[in-house]
Chain A
């Protein structure tokens, strides 16, 4: 069992909603062991679940022949989650702003916005084929002993 300071796990999962649950539970486990507070942990889990949903739904379109991979890494200063799909690729600059008045009543299009709202860093990488989303949450610096 990895210690609470550094650890790494990588999962390869089918493109299903059950996989989204697995990724979310793993994110919860890592966020708790990394020492994030009770307000931050649900936000991290939500961001990671949204990234997994994007991979399963918009990336792989539930294809049984395409897996997603999710890796979780805790270092001394951050928690990093990478979600990969094998879809056609995602251009984040093409996404409409969900806060724009003309988009407020859209029934979708808020996932990436929520990911960005809850994580400290979000990076997109095109894999040809597929997309890798990297989500980073910085850990609070350790307090010096009194």
Chain B
């Protein structure tokens, strides 16, 4: 199963609901294209909802980092929401847990942008 993205707006925040696998190839490319798409449309506050991500590899982790950097360089802010235990563990061992702003409640995450 490749990755799918659904985009919605809540209180001025662009939320990307991701599902499937973020892996080398299609999954990573879809994530990159989706983030650039919302950036190009002027969204500067982006929340990636990873609740339905079943698998992520090193390329997918790198893509999350690249998305974070792209949004930051564009003057925006990117946060992560609803990590699965596996993604949580991977961000811990790669020391990225301290890089990302991570939330497990959508309302709180939205409030944190303001």
Interface string of B56-70 (1 = CB under 8 A from A): 011101110110110
Interface stretch, picked from B4-12, B40-48, B74-82, B91-99, is B91-99
Provide the bound-state CA to CA distance between A50 and B65, in Å.
18
Interface stretch, picked from A4-12, A70-78, A103-111, A138-146, is A103-111
Q: Contact between B62 and A50 (Cβ–Cβ < 8 Å)? A: no
Provide the bound-state CA to CA distance between A50 and B90, in Å.
14
A55 within 8 A of B: no
Known A-B contacts A49-B57, A50-B58, A53-B59; the reply to A106 vs B24 at CB < 8 A is: no
Provide the bound-state CA to CA distance between A53 and B93, in Å.
20
Known A-B contacts A17-B24, A106-B62; the reply to A53 vs B57 at CB < 8 A is: yes
B88 within 8 A of A: no
Interface string of A99-120 (1 = CB under 8 A from B): 1000011111111011001000
Q: Contact between A50 and B57 (Cβ–Cβ < 8 Å)? A: yes
The interface size of chain B toward A, counting residues with CB under 8 Å, comes to 19
- The main secondary structure of chain B at its interface with chain A is helix
Provide the bound-state CA to CA distance between A50 and B58, in Å.
7
Q: Which residues of A contact B69 (CB under 8 A)?
A: 105, 107
B4-38 interface with A by 8 A CB criterion:
24-25
Q: Which residues of A contact B61 (CB under 8 A)?
A: 110
Known A-B contacts A104-B95, A104-B96; the reply to A110 vs B62 at CB < 8 A is: yes
A130 within 8 A of B: no
Provide the bound-state CA to CA distance between A46 and B25, in Å.
16
Known A-B contacts A53-B59, A106-B65, A107-B62; the reply to A99 vs B99 at CB < 8 A is: no
Q: Which residues of B contact A113 (CB under 8 A)?
A: 58, 94
Q: Which residues of A contact B62 (CB under 8 A)?
A: 106-110
13 further A-B contacts with Cβ under 8 Å, apart from A99-B95, A110-B62, A110-B94, are A53-B24, A53-B57, A57-B24, A98-B94, A105-B65, A105-B68, A107-B65, A107-B66, A108-B58, A108-B62, A111-B59, A114-B93, A114-B94
Sampled A-B contacts (6; CB under 8 Å): A49-B57, A98-B94, A104-B99, A108-B58, A111-B58, A114-B94
Closest 9 A/B residue pairs (Cβ): A107-B66, A110-B58, A107-B62, A111-B58, A108-B62, A17-B25, A99-B95, A107-B65, A114-B58
